[in-house]
């Protein structure tokens, strides 16, 4: 019997993801100890990773979200980055950590990073669950990386293909055959 998950090969299991996110959370809590931290998640893809990451950070912090769209419904970037929802409060003088699901061409983070830098935070760093360095078009400094990926299209754990598969509890590689 065929199911909706048949075209997905498991790439990182729920347990592997959980273990790595716990490590990242500990590292971040150490690095930001005693600082006024605002964790900014980029929706939609980040919603699952962000929920796990901030719960792995044993420290006082605040969360906020921005919604950005860069894909036109397929696996190739349109190269255009639209801000659909901006932060509601100023970030001047605050320590800001941007959290992304995956860094691909780097265009999204390049734009968001420059936008937030203009608002003069005390510091601005980037954490991502996945990094595909082989696909980079613009250089962006990524400070915390969960896993490095080759040139595959990842789905699950928040990441989508045309809006689907975000609810898979693991990370998979889309493999239609
Ligand atoms: P970038 O602007 O090319 O770096 O792309 C960043 C955004 O593209 C991410 O936040 C994702 O939403 C999406 N994206 C890039 N690669 C993948 C992938 O392999 N699977 C799902 N979404 C992806
Ligand atoms: Mg995204």
pLDDT of residue 76: 58
pLDDT tens for residues 103-130? 999 999 999 999 999 999 999 999 999 9
Atom of ligand 1 nearest to the CA of 101: 10
CA 100 – ligand 2 centroid, Å: 7
- In sequence order, the 6+-apart residues with CB closer than 8 A to the CB of 163 are 73
pLDDT of residue 78: 60
**In contact, 87 and 64? CB cutoff 8 Å:** yes
Atom of ligand 1 nearest to the CA of 68: 10
pLDDT band at 89 (very low <50, low <70, confident <90, very high): very high
pLDDT tens for residues 126-156? 999 999 999 999 999 999 999 999 999 999 9
How is residue 81 written in tokens? 């980055």
Q: 3-class DSSP state for residue 147?
A: strand
**In contact, 116 and 132? CB cutoff 8 Å:** no
Q: Tell whether ligand 1 has an atom less than 6 A from the beta carbon of residue 131.
A: no
Q: How many residues does the chain have?
A: 177
Percent of the chain's residues with pLDDT above 90: 85
Q: Whose CA is nearest to atom 19 of ligand 1?
A: 153
Nearest ligand to the C-alpha of residue 79?
A: 1
CA angle, 125 as apex, 121 and 130 as ends, to 5°? 150
Q: Indicate the domain borders of the chain.
A: 4-70+80-174
pLDDT of residue 81: 83
What is the CATH class of 4-70+80-174? alpha beta
Kindly list the strands in the beta sheet with 8-12, ordered across the sheet, starting from the edge strand earlier in the chain.
8-12, 171-174, 154-155
pLDDT tens for residues 24-49? 999 999 999 999 999 999 999 999 99
pLDDT of residue 1: 74
Write the burial class of residue 51 (CB in 10 Å: 0-12 exposed, 13-18 middle, 19+ buried): middle
pLDDT of residue 156: 98
DSSP classification of residue 44: T
What amino acid positions are annotated as catalytic residues?
A: 104
């Amino acid at each position: 019997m065929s199911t909706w998950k048949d075209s997905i090969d498991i790439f990182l299991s729920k347990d592997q993801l959980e273990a790595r996110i716990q490590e990242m959370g500990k590292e971040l809590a150490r690095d930001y100890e005693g600082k006024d931290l605002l964790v900014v998640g980029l929706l939609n893809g980040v919603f699952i990773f962000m929920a796990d990451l901030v719960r792995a950070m044993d420290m006082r912090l605040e969360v906020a979200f921005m919604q950005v769209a860069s894909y036109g419904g397929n696996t190739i970037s349109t190269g255009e980055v639209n801000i659909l929802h901006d932060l509601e409060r100023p970030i001047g003088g605050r320590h800001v950590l941007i959290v992304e699901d995956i860094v691909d061409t780097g265009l999204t983070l390049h734009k968001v990073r420059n936008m937030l830098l203009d608002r003069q935070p005390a510091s601005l760093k980037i954490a991502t669950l996945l990094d595909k360095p082989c696909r980079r078009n613009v250089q962006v400094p990524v400070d915390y990386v969960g896993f490095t990926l080759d040139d595959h299209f990842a789905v699950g754990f928040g990441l989508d293909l045309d809006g689907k598969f975000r609810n898979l509890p693991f990370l998979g590689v889309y493999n239609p055959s």
